[in-house]
Structure 1
Amino acid sequence: MLRTALRNVFAHKTRLSMTVLAVMLGVAFISGTLVFSDSVVSAYRGAYTKNLKDVDVSVQAESEPASSGTEADDDRSTALTSAVVDKVRAAPGVTSVRPIVNGSVTLAAKDGRPLNAETSWENLATNYVPDTRHGGEDSRFPLRAGRGPSGGTEIALDRRTAEKAGYALGDTVRFAIDGPALSKKLVGIVDADDPRVTAGGSLALFDTKTAQQLFLQAGQVDELAIGSAPGTDNRALTHEIRELLPTSGVTVTDGARLARDQAEEIVEGTKEFTRILMVFAGIALFVGAFLIANTFTMLVAQRGRETALLRAVGASRRQVVRAVLIEAGLLGLVSSAVGFVLGLGIATVLRPLLNTSGAGLPAGPLVVSTSALVWSLVTGVGVTVLAAWLPSRNAAKVAPVEALSNVDQTPRQRSMVLRNSHGALFTTAGVLILLYVSTQKDGADDNLMAAVLGSVLTLTGMIVLAPLLSRPLVRLAGALATRLFGVSGKLAKENALRNPRRTAATASALMIGLTLITALSVAGHSMDAALKDEAVRGMTADYKVTNTAFEGLDPALGAKVAGVPGVAATASVASAGLEVDGTFTSITGADPQQLSKVADLRFSSGSLKDLASGKVLLSDKLAEQKGLSRGDTFEGMLFPDGQHRQLTVAGVYQYTRVVGDALGTMGDILPHTEGGKLDSILVKAVSGRNTGGLDQDIRQALGNSPLLQVQNQEQLAKAESDTIAVMLNMMYGLLGMAVVIAVLGVINTLAMSVIERTREIGLLRAIGLDNRGIKQMVRLESVVISLFGAVLGIGTGIFLAWACGSLARSSLTMYQTVLPWHLTGLFLLLALTVGVLAAVWPARRATRLNMLRAINAQ
């Protein structure tokens, strides 16, 4: 039987080519993801180890101080003081102590555009610490040109940033922290090993005194990098230094552990992304399983006489099953091996591709682990064997006499009844669960699990019911084909109806891909519409001023904006955290009189005039959730400082993102914000004035800071839309592999169907059907199957998106299901195109059959 299996593999290479390709693509997706993950993890660990190579022990302040934004601001948190530094210097075994000040700045390019404005975590700033042991240079940042900064008017940049921004030595570099632009002379260009910088971030260097003025207070630092004498036990030294320092506010770690910890923080995010990729890889392989099952079903049917002869000469049912599974295993092994190699190419391309979208992944070699190879091979072989098991089992059940007399076995009635019963049960259960989910407005874990379960059951039920559904839907499409194309259309319809299971299996692969893509499209466009609406709902202001680095605005900026000619009114807005009876949300602070000029709040009770110190206004959403109404008093915790306060509800308004879930006075809220900063400034233009150019006037009044952005209502809505567009495009790309495999399934089914119907095609040619009619018949059959899968997929996807979309209302109050009709039409057009293109090779093959040989074919 082993020889038989090997002979069958080599005898049907062409028929198995599409199956090989499907398994290969699915395994390539998996192996590429695993190798990519291992490579990125290794690169992060290596980068942090290299970046901290000179650090034997590290002393860090437990919480980073807030940035000041001015060069002489004493209102800073304490960090590490000079007394701590002196204690550490005096510790036995310590040979060097490098005081480090950390911060973040947004740089402007030479042409004025901001650099990395939307990825502020990459905009690093620190102090340059000359070391006499390294020729007066900072060993962390080898100089490429110039020298290190040594005064309050000087700055150094990393090489990549200088090149990207167009700066040369001697140029004036503009940057900002949380307010107006500052400028310093570029005196040095350095290399940097920090993975955040090498992956596309920026690095700005100042001398220690200037860095302290910008980010801390004089004499304070964030971190100490300690070097030890050769032969020193760094773990013991870490313990000794820990004993010298205060028990709170300070963290002491050995250098090796610090490198591991910093790498692991980012590695966890990489692993989460890997899990997402693996889900889509699983979807691609699941779709491929339909192609594999279809291939072996048709191969087993075409080899019915051969199987019957094997049974007649003594082969048992178990041996027949084993022979088919061996064939599948060999096919899966070869496909998986090639797919693994192809995956290495995917892993190589994936990192730079993600970095173009701002992922910030470090460079490094490919890491090909044994586990990635084993998982790829086991998954590919396992899926192939499992998909081939049912066809092999069905082949073994056919009696030898029956197989000798009929190649194309008709499914037994009992089998179809059982299948349809199971399909109806799954579908009904799934639909009922999803109907329940559609009534819920809370995205709690239980509801999310119910949505996932209902979606899986519904999709599974549709797959199982596909043979039953194929009859009426294919007849409907076939009737149109018959009317338009005559005999060719009628033959195409009858061929598609001949074996409903095969038609359903082929269409189901396409259905799964289109179900997921349609559901994503409907959900994405619904969220897009809701976010656009919520971004400006209740906002009558023409502009909104914010910090692109999300580090807040200096409260003094509000007066500067108000003084710009053409500005009628402004409202400074602050934001802090609020905890109410276990629910964490945010609370906005604003002057009620100013706010009334730039926002339109709809009240069910109370008004802005009722807002005063100790009182708050609540959104209808939060008030209903907590059972609060006007006049009620509750205890709330404001954070980040964690202060508890008794607050009285002065009114309830319709939720709007302008003020969020709660609104208090500026005097009550600003002291509890991070660093005492504003969240935004809302600006109303003078009535009747053309607002064109006012945004530039506001930027100029704020010093043309690269950190601050001024957006009108249209731009605010577009920013929300762009976020959804990026997410949808990424999802479409990930699901693209499943759709490609589904298309291969259509091609494979048609090609094997042509081989199976060789005699029939020969007879049709003999009675007068010309080559054009044969091609048209195959093409129309492909279109009918593709449209059947598309209709099922689009319909199921819309239903899933509608039912599960209600859960989004817990965070998007304006969420309503929006059907993107243009995309629905596009998907149907693509299905039609897939049907036409998938039929090109099978149709060409059908017309090239020798008529006499085809008639005599068995």
Structure 2
Amino acid sequence: MKRLLLANLRGNYRRMLLAALATLLGSAFVAGTLVLGDTLQATVDSQVVGNAAKVSAVATTENQLRPLPPESLGRIAGLPGVRQADGMVSGDVTVLGADGRPRRDAPVGFSTTLRTTLSGGRLPAAGETVLADQTATALGVQIGGTVSVLDFAGGQPRQFRVSGTANVRGQGDFSLHGAMGFTEADARAVTGKTGYAEIDVAGADPAALVPAMRTAIGNGPYRVVDGQDFARDQAAGSGVDPVVLRAGLVLFAIVALFVAGFVIYNTFIILVAQRTRELALTRCLGASRGQVFRAVLAESAIVGAVASLLGSALGVGVAWLLMPIVNSLGGAVAMDSLSVGPGALLLSFAAGTLATVGAALVPARVATATKPVSALTAGQEPSAGGKLGWVRRVLAAGLGVAGLLAALAGLSGGNGQSGLVLVGLGGILFFLGTVAAGPALVRILVRAAGFPLRRALGVPGRLAAGNALRKPRRSATTALALVIGITLTAGITVITSSLESSVDVGIGQALPADFLIQRPGANNGPVIPRAVAGQLQAAPGAVVTEVREAPAVAKDGETMVSTLAGAIRPKVLSGSLDGLRDGGVALRPERAQDLGVRAGDTVGFRIGDRTVAMPVAAVVTGPAVPRTIVSPDRFDALFPGTGDALVLVDFAAGTSPADARAVVDAATAAFPTARVTSTYDAHDQLAQTLGQVTSFVTALLALAIVISLLGISNTMTLSVLERTRETAVLRALGFPIAKIRGMLTTEALLLGLIGGVLGVVLGTAFGLAAAHVINTRITLTVPWGVLIALVAGAGAAAALASLLPTRNATRISVVAALADE
């Protein structure tokens, strides 16, 4: 049997090549994802944990609105065993570009501490700054250059000399948005923060420091941990979880191996059918069923082992290709070099080999199912038994119903991870039911798709449909390999399209206008000249709302009194806005609650040296609606000559973002430090993020689709060999070579279209369900154009995959083919 096994491998190695290639690609993907996961883990350990290891204990706040008290730093510094204690002031800063306007990207400003890791230069002195590496790149500034930053309180530009650069990889917002380090005094000036976001301590005994620091800080939403726990917190908050990302990548690799399993199954089931007489003769010569079974499995094991060995080596290259793609997604850590360990390579080798052997189990059993004597005259694919039809029907119905029930349970559960898991489980079960019902579905779909092809192509179309129907299980297995990748691609496309459609709604709720123009600095910063709004109002199609505000004192302390002049109207919860014309005031619900009043009551404000009593005309809400509102006339009487604090601009539908931006830039040219926020920018950023994720996922799924197309090419190649005599008869009867090629190409096209249609239907249905579970208020969208292109692309790719087999089919001599048997 050993010599027979080796002889079979030598004689059939060409027929095994595509199956081996499918295993090679699948195992390479497994190896690549595992190596990438190991690399990411090593990167997090070195970049994130290494930075946090500089401290013995760290105090942080869990509520950014309640920072650590400034006086707590002195108390902590005086604790026994403390060698150094640094407080970190942290907040957004406004950086001015070369044109004097605020840049759209706002880095995080912070005061440097003992945890700051320099990549070049030195720590800053007064009037200096250190830039995060990515911030220095974005600004195009080197050490020794200058950066202009707005002072928070006065809104005036300040120049800072760059004294060094810092490595902030893995440090949350610092790595995601960029960062600028200052002295503590300068950090307070540019961020407006007074308390500390973090206090870093170096000492001898962390176990003693932690409780002592808790006592020194006092009660509040504060957390004190030792350096090791802080390192773990940093790793968890870095935005990259190596375990989760590795698990996600491995899932895609498993999909690729699963698809490869379909290809391997088809290869061996066809080879077993073609070698029925040979195997039966082996049985007649004394080989037992067990020996035949083991021989087929041994063939698959050898093919799988060789392909997986090559695939594991190739996986290092896959990881190298995936590394820049993962880095480009904007993660908080960046991988520089691969970390290749034996575990990843051995695991991928084992996975590829076992997947190949597992896919060959059914063909191996089929190889032993026919009696030797009857098989000597049989050339057809053996049947696995008559009862299999009933088993398939029951299995298909059970899995389909279970999948639907699981998906419905997920939908009825509302938002949440459990609902998404149920929908995903429902999709898997329903797909497995589709696999079980595959032959029946193929018959239906081939007849439906074959009808127009028969009418359009005549005899080649009729023969192609007949060939696909001749072996429905084989056709189903070939098409279902393609269904997996198309289903996942369609599902991801539907989800991201729905999310993108919801972006406009979400941005519209957060930003109630196309552009928001804000004054720089805090409440005492320079106001926006009224001429800015006047110039915008003169622009065609522009609708402008001005928000002006000025300080006053209410019974609960200092507040801001505002007015709205323009298109935006608050939503009235109680009372009426008509009372504003009579000198009344409108309050947001939270402001009314703070003052303990409601519509109809009276509230007093001290403005300058006088107290003004105002009736509460209404309680209102709405996007961009201030907390305390009076009419424009009333505001101008109380605060004459006050400029705008905020200007909102809406442009007519159809106005291009570039034209709208040009109008706003022209209006603010005389006031360049105004902060301009655009819904267009927000939409583009979110759409870009979704696009990156979609492209990344699609690239990963593309490998599964490529493997499934190899399966179509493999099936067509083996089918051509199986039907050599039939093809020769057609040629002998005068059937043109072009029509024979057309017949085979049409058969592949049918399989591709069937896979595309089934995949798009399943992916769309469960993609919509998943999108709804992700957010019940999402705007569900079906990108019909993309889905139709997926189906057409699947058919076209399948047709292309058949070109080589169809070419080979017509190169065989007619005489030799007819004499083959």
1:766-813 deviation digits (Å, cap 9, x = unpaired): 22234323222211111111112222222233333445554456233x
State the SS of the aligned residue for 1:14.
Answer: helix
Among residues 295, 301, 310, which one is paired with 1:323 in the alignment? 295
State the SS of the aligned residue for 2:131.
Answer: strand
1:34 Cα offset (Å): 1.5
Output aligned runs, 1:482-521, within 5 Å: 482-521=454-493
Q: Indicate if the aligned counterparts of 1:532 and 1:720 stay in contact, CA closer than 8 A.
A: no
Q: Which amino acid in the other structure matches residue 695 of structure 1? A: V
Q: Indicate if the aligned counterparts of 2:483 and 2:755 stay in contact, CA closer than 8 A.
A: yes
Among residues 393, 397, 410, which one is paired with 1:424 in the alignment? 397
Q: Which amino acid in the other structure matches residue 20 of structure 1? A: A
1:158 Cα offset (Å): 5.2
State the SS of the aligned residue for 2:528.
Answer: helix
**TM-score when scaled to structure 1?**
0.76
Cα pair distance change 1:156/1:535, threshold 3 Å: closer
Which range moves more in the overlay, 527-536 or 321-330? 527-536
Among residues 644, 648, 660, which one is paired with 1:683 in the alignment? 648
1:691-710 deviation digits (Å, cap 9, x = unpaired): 664532676687536xx442
Cα pair distance change 1:691/1:213, threshold 3 Å: closer
Which residue of structure 2 lines up, in the alignment, with residue 585 of structure 1?
none
Q: Indicate if the aligned counterparts of 2:443 and 2:469 stay in contact, CA closer than 8 A.
A: yes
Which residue of structure 2 lines up, in the alignment, with residue 586 of structure 1?
none
Output aligned runs, 1:487-566, within 5 Å: 487-536=459-508, 541-544=513-516, 554=522, 560=528, 564-566=532-534
Which residue of structure 1 lines up, in the alignment, with residue 815 of structure 2?
852
Output aligned runs, 1:260-275, within 5 Å: 260-266=232-238, 269-275=241-247
Q: Indicate if the aligned counterparts of 2:67 and 2:196 stay in contact, CA closer than 8 A.
A: no
Q: Give the whole-Å Cα distance in 2 for the aligned partners of 1:664 and 1:335.
A: 67
1:15 Cα offset (Å): 1.4
Which residue of structure 2 lines up, in the alignment, with residue 41 of structure 1?
41
1:578-620 deviation digits (Å, cap 9, x = unpaired): xxxxxxxxxxx999974994257599x9877899668479xxx
Q: Indicate if the aligned counterparts of 1:441 and 1:806 stay in contact, CA closer than 8 A.
A: no
1:502 Cα offset (Å): 0.4
Q: Indicate if the aligned counterparts of 2:57 and 2:210 stay in contact, CA closer than 8 A.
A: no
1:546 Cα offset (Å): 8.3
Q: Give the whole-Å Cα distance in 1 for the aligned partners of 2:735 and 2:123.
A: 85
* 1:189 and 2:168 correspond: no
Which range moves more in the overlay, 552-561 or 27-36? 552-561
* 1:755 and 2:721 correspond: yes
Which residue of structure 2 lines up, in the alignment, with residue 295 of structure 1?
267
Output aligned runs, 1:374-413, within 5 Å: 374-409=346-381, 411=383, 412-413=385-386
Q: Give the whole-Å Cα distance in 1 for the aligned partners of 2:578 and 2:248.
A: 49
Q: Indicate if the aligned counterparts of 2:76 and 2:213 stay in contact, CA closer than 8 A.
A: no
State the SS of the aligned residue for 2:149.
Answer: strand
Output aligned runs, 1:50-65, within 5 Å: 50-51=50-51, 55=54, 57-63=56-62
1:819 Cα offset (Å): 3.0
Cα pair distance change 1:853/1:533, threshold 3 Å: same
1:390 Cα offset (Å): 1.2
Q: Give the whole-Å Cα distance in 2 for the aligned partners of 1:173 and 1:616.
A: 40
Q: Give the whole-Å Cα distance in 2 for the aligned partners of 1:236 and 1:801.
A: 50
Output aligned runs, 1:607-686, within 5 Å: 615=589, 658=623, 665=627, 683-684=648-649
Which residue of structure 2 lines up, in the alignment, with residue 829 of structure 1?
792
1:341 Cα offset (Å): 1.8
Q: Give the whole-Å Cα distance in 2 for the aligned partners of 1:436 and 1:227.
A: 54
1:468 Cα offset (Å): 0.9
State the SS of the aligned residue for 2:387.
Answer: helix
Q: Which amino acid in the other structure matches residue 819 of structure 2? A: N
**TM-score when scaled to structure 2?**
0.79
Cα pair distance change 1:141/1:455, threshold 3 Å: closer
Cα pair distance change 1:805/1:441, threshold 3 Å: farther
Q: Indicate if the aligned counterparts of 1:481 and 1:490 stay in contact, CA closer than 8 A.
A: yes
Among residues 657, 665, 668, which one is paired with 1:696 in the alignment? 665
Cα pair distance change 1:416/1:108, threshold 3 Å: farther
Among residues 112, 118, 137, which one is paired with 1:141 in the alignment? 118
State the SS of the aligned residue for 2:14.
Answer: coil
Q: Indicate if the aligned counterparts of 1:542 and 1:683 stay in contact, CA closer than 8 A.
A: yes
Q: Indicate if the aligned counterparts of 1:65 and 1:77 stay in contact, CA closer than 8 A.
A: no
* 1:743 and 2:709 correspond: yes
Q: Which amino acid in the other structure matches residue 568 of structure 2? A: V
Q: Give the whole-Å Cα distance in 2 for the aligned partners of 1:239 and 1:3.
A: 72
Cα pair distance change 1:766/1:114, threshold 3 Å: farther
Among residues 79, 97, 117, which one is paired with 2:105 in the alignment? 117
Q: Indicate if the aligned counterparts of 1:507 and 1:785 stay in contact, CA closer than 8 A.
A: yes
Which residue of structure 1 lines up, in the alignment, with residue 615 of structure 2?
none
* 1:226 and 2:226 correspond: no
Which range moves more in the overlay, 462-471 or 446-455? 446-455
* 1:598 and 2:568 correspond: yes
Cα pair distance change 1:299/1:320, threshold 3 Å: same
State the SS of the aligned residue for 1:819.
Answer: coil
* 1:211 and 2:187 correspond: yes
Give the total of aligned pairs: 752
Q: Give the whole-Å Cα distance in 2 for the aligned partners of 1:354 and 1:100.
A: 31
1:215 Cα offset (Å): 4.9
Q: Which amino acid in the other structure matches residue 159 of structure 2? A: K
Which range moves more in the overlay, 486-495 or 530-539? 530-539
1:193-241 deviation digits (Å, cap 9, x = unpaired): 755599787443323432344457789794244266xxxxx55675796
Q: Indicate if the aligned counterparts of 1:157 and 1:186 stay in contact, CA closer than 8 A.
A: no
State the SS of the aligned residue for 2:340.
Answer: coil
Q: Give the whole-Å Cα distance in 2 for the aligned partners of 1:41 and 1:546.
A: 42
1:325 Cα offset (Å): 1.7
1:5 Cα offset (Å): 3.6
Q: Indicate if the aligned counterparts of 1:569 and 1:683 stay in contact, CA closer than 8 A.
A: yes
Which residue of structure 2 lines up, in the alignment, with residue 333 of structure 1?
305
1:386-414 deviation digits (Å, cap 9, x = unpaired): 21111111221111123221122254543
Q: Indicate if the aligned counterparts of 1:519 and 1:798 stay in contact, CA closer than 8 A.
A: yes
Q: Indicate if the aligned counterparts of 2:67 and 2:195 stay in contact, CA closer than 8 A.
A: no
Q: Give the whole-Å Cα distance in 2 for the aligned partners of 1:819 and 1:243.
A: 54
Q: Which amino acid in the other structure matches residue 74 of structure 2? A: A
1:724 Cα offset (Å): 3.6
Gap regions ≥5 residues in structure 2: 538-543, 550-558, 580-584, 592-597, 600-617, 630-644
Which residue of structure 2 lines up, in the alignment, with residue 9 of structure 1?
9
1:238-283 deviation digits (Å, cap 9, x = unpaired): 5796598456577665556644553354386232222222222222
Q: Which amino acid in the other structure matches residue 59 of structure 2? A: Q
State the SS of the aligned residue for 2:532.
Answer: coil
Q: Give the whole-Å Cα distance in 2 for the aligned partners of 1:417 and 1:694.
A: 71
State the SS of the aligned residue for 1:15.
Answer: helix
Cα pair distance change 1:31/1:602, threshold 3 Å: farther
Among residues 748, 771, 787, which one is paired with 2:753 in the alignment? 787
Q: Indicate if the aligned counterparts of 2:58 and 2:224 stay in contact, CA closer than 8 A.
A: yes
Which residue of structure 1 lines up, in the alignment, with residue 611 of structure 2?
none
Cα pair distance change 1:556/1:56, threshold 3 Å: closer
Q: Give the whole-Å Cα distance in 1 for the aligned partners of 2:577 and 2:294.
A: 78
Q: Indicate if the aligned counterparts of 1:433 and 1:454 stay in contact, CA closer than 8 A.
A: yes
Which residue of structure 1 lines up, in the alignment, with residue 632 of structure 2?
none
Q: Indicate if the aligned counterparts of 1:424 and 1:461 stay in contact, CA closer than 8 A.
A: yes
State the SS of the aligned residue for 1:186.
Answer: strand
1:720 Cα offset (Å): 4.7
1:529 Cα offset (Å): 2.6
Which residue of structure 2 lines up, in the alignment, with residue 641 of structure 1?
none
Which residue of structure 1 lines up, in the alignment, with residue 602 of structure 2?
none
1:539 Cα offset (Å): 7.7
Among residues 700, 708, 711, which one is paired with 2:678 in the alignment? 711
Q: Indicate if the aligned counterparts of 1:340 and 1:376 stay in contact, CA closer than 8 A.
A: yes
1:749 Cα offset (Å): 0.4
Q: Give the whole-Å Cα distance in 1 for the aligned partners of 2:404 and 2:223.
A: 54
Cα pair distance change 1:294/1:85, threshold 3 Å: same
1:838 Cα offset (Å): 0.7
Q: Which amino acid in the other structure matches residue 185 of structure 2? A: K
State the SS of the aligned residue for 2:18.
Answer: helix
Q: Indicate if the aligned counterparts of 1:33 and 1:278 stay in contact, CA closer than 8 A.
A: yes
Q: Indicate if the aligned counterparts of 1:571 and 1:598 stay in contact, CA closer than 8 A.
A: no
Which residue of structure 2 lines up, in the alignment, with residue 25 of structure 1?
25
